[in-house]
């Protein structure tokens, strides 16, 4: 009896000691974590850079986007590691799958280059069973991204109130053509946004009509803005615990990119825009910012000049900037050393009215060499300039391949194709650039692994018709 009592005492003592050690260990761990970080962040990872997962691992996106603006945003998030589940209409999918097709029966480059690294599920969002699946997806995803025409999401029953009630943490991110106002109900495509955002009126040559630019600043530009909005909303959710709506209007996105022209509009009230070549040519300014051809938008005058071979090669040109700090070097290289001290040329102000003549002289010089030789020569003297690269040259440029900006991926029905990888490089998160999914390629996998449906339930869902295209109506005889 006494022996047993002694043993019990020993055990109790040992347990007490153990738990005391535990308490000490836990509290000291917390203390040292606090000491190390001070802001509740985990300790810095010991894993080598690039081996600690991807930036957006664990983030799940319900991707209701189509065409270009929305898909640009979600593709970027997928490259950064998010699990992007693209919901597409059964039988049809994103309309771009079939637009501008180059290979018969294969998804177009239009689609494949905007939907890489995503998973595709087909759901008829207007079918009752489809609604049920979508509600389940809303519960498990962090962000819903859409760029339907105004009102389309509501017509599917996916109002903000419904989504927020179903998952208060969900962020609902939308691209629309216009923000609230007279045009809010309008459908909008790229060039409409370029026109409404102030870009077209300020692009092109003064004597010609407004011009749209090839860079998709309305679609892709707004998609990029949306990605930033989503990231900010996610960061705020860490504090508030709740989601919010993120809206990017294409008109706003274009205007944001064209803000230097709104700057110039206000400067007009105080006199002519002296850095525009129209000033040097003595052409009076009107009431609005004019088109400025290839004038530079900043304080250092620039223009496009011809290089050797321009007669046959439409891209044998160089953009040349007469940056003030290297004016002396420019004069020496082009063979006009006297311009360094001649009061007619020596200061930026004196040069402004003569820009046309100065660029004509520079062009005389650049026409003696090809654009790459010119680039090499001027860069030796720290003179800013850039060759006009064709898309062919860009596709073949090895340095863009080695940085992952241009990536070749393999596709089961169209074979190899080039896509633009992640232009944003993260040192600890290598980009995950994979081919685009086939229509509905991941339907079963998502139903099973993400939503937890059993095989029998999946069969029932399939039988309901929620995942397939409605049967084609018989034509009347």
CB of 192 to ligand COA, least distance (A): 8
Residue written as token pair 């996916």: 158
**Nearest to ligand COA of 152, 352 (CB atom):** 152
Q: Which two tokens stand for residue 387?
A: 């060759």
Which one of residues 123, 307, 318, 355 is an interface residue with ligand COA (CB under 6 A)?
123
| Whole-number Å distance between alpha carbons of 157 and 135 | 10
Please say whether the beta carbons of 246 and 172 come within 8 A.
yes
- Whether residue 219 lies in the annotated active site: yes
Which of 63, 94, 142, 219 is catalytic? The answer is: 219
What distances in angstroms separate CA 247 from CA 39, 73, 128, 150, 229, one per listed residue?
30, 13, 28, 12, 8
Nearest alpha carbon to residue 61 among 83, 93, 40, 45: 83
Of 121-129, 259-267, 268-276, 289-297, which part binds ligand COA (CB under 6 A)?
Answer: 121-129
**Nearest to ligand COA of 126, 380 (CB atom):** 126
**Nearest to ligand COA of 147, 296 (CB atom):** 147
Which one of residues 67, 77, 133, 234 is an interface residue with ligand COA (CB under 6 A)?
67
Q: Which of residues 151-190 bind ligand COA (CB under 6 A)?
A: 152, 155-156, 175-177, 187-189
Q: Which of residues 84-113 bind ligand COA (CB under 6 A)?
A: 87-89
Which one of residues 125, 322, 323, 443 is an interface residue with ligand COA (CB under 6 A)?
125
CB of 122 to ligand COA, least distance (A): 7
Please say whether the beta carbons of 107 and 97 come within 8 A.
yes
431 binds ligand COA (CB under 6 A): no
CB of 89 to ligand COA, least distance (A): 4
| Whole-number Å distance between alpha carbons of 193 and 209 | 17
Q: Which two tokens stand for residue 32?
A: 């040292």
Is residue 62 classed as helix, strand or coil in its secondary structure?
A: strand
Spatial neighbors of 353 by CB under 8 A, at least 6 apart, are: 279, 280
Which one of residues 112, 131, 147, 251 is an interface residue with ligand COA (CB under 6 A)?
147
Q: Which two tokens stand for residue 274?
A: 């002296």
63 binds ligand COA (CB under 6 A): no
Count CB-CB contacts under 10 A for residue 116.
Answer: 26
Q: Which two tokens stand for residue 100?
A: 């501008």
Q: Which of residues 188-217 bind ligand COA (CB under 6 A)?
A: 188-189
The site for ligand COA (CB under 6 A) is made up of: 67-70, 87-89, 123-126, 147-149, 152, 155-156, 175-177, 187-189, 219
Residue positions annotated with a catalytic role:
219
């Amino acid at each position: 009896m006494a022996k047993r009592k002694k043993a019990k005492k020993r055990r109790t003592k040992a347990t007490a000691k153990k738990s005391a050690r535990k308490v000490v260990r836990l509290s000291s761990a917390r203390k040292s974590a606090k000491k190390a970080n001070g802001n509740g962040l985990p300790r810095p990872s010991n894993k080598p850079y690039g081996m600690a997962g991807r930036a957006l691992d664990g983030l799940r996106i319900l991707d209701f986007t189509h065409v270009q603006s929305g898909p640009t945003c979600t593709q970027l998030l997928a490259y950064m590691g998010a699990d992007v589940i693209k919901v597409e209409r059964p039988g049809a999918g994103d309309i771009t799958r079939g637009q501008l097709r180059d290979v018969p029966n294969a998804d177009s480059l239009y689609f494949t280059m905007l939907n890489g690294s995503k998973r595709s599920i087909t759901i008829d969002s207007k079918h009752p069973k489809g609604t049920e699946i979508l509600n389940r997806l809303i519960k498990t995803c962090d962000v819903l991204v859409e760029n339907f025409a105004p009102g389309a999401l509501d017509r599917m029953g996916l109002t903000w109130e419904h989504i927020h009630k179903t998952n208060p943490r969900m962020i609902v991110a939308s691209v629309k053509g216009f923000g609230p106002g007279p045009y809010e109900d309008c459908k909008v495509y790229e060039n409409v946004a370029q026109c409404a955002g102030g870009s077209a009126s300020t692009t092109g040559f003064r004597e010609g009509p407004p011009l749209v630019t090839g860079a998709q600043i309305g679609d892709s530009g707004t998609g990029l803005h949306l990605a930033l909005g989503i990231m900010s909303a996610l960061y705020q959710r860490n504090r508030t615990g709740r989601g919010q709506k993120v809206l990017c209007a294409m008109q706003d996105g274009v205007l944001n990119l064209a803000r230097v022209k709104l700057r110039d509009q206000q400067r007009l009230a105080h006199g002519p825009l002296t850095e525009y070549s129209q000033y040097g040519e003595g052409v009076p300014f009107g009431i609005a910012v004019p088109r400025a051809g290839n004038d530079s938008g900043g304080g250092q005058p620039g223009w496009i000049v011809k290089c050797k071979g321009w007669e046959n090669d439409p891209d044998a040109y160089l953009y040349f900037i007469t940056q003030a700090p290297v004016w002396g070097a420019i004069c020496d290289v082009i063979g006009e050393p006297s311009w360094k001290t001649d009061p007619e040329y020596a200061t930026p102000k004196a040069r402004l009215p003569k820009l046309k003549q100065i660029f004509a002289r520079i062009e005389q010089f650049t026409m003696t060499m090809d654009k790459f030789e010119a680039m090499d020569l001027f860069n030796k003297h720290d003179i800013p300039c850039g060759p006009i690269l064709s898309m062919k040259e860009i596709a073949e440029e090895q340095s863009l391949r080695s940085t992952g900006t241009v990536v070749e991926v393999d596709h089961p029905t169209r074979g190899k194709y080039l896509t633009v990888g992640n232009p944003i490089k993260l040192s600890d998160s290598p980009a995950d650039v994979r081919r685009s999914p086939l229509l509905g390629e991941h339907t079963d996998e998502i139903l099973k692994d993400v939503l937890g449906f059993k095989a029998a339930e999946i069969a029932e869902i399939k039988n309901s018709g929620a995942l397939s295209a409605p049967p084609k109506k018989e034509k009347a005889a």
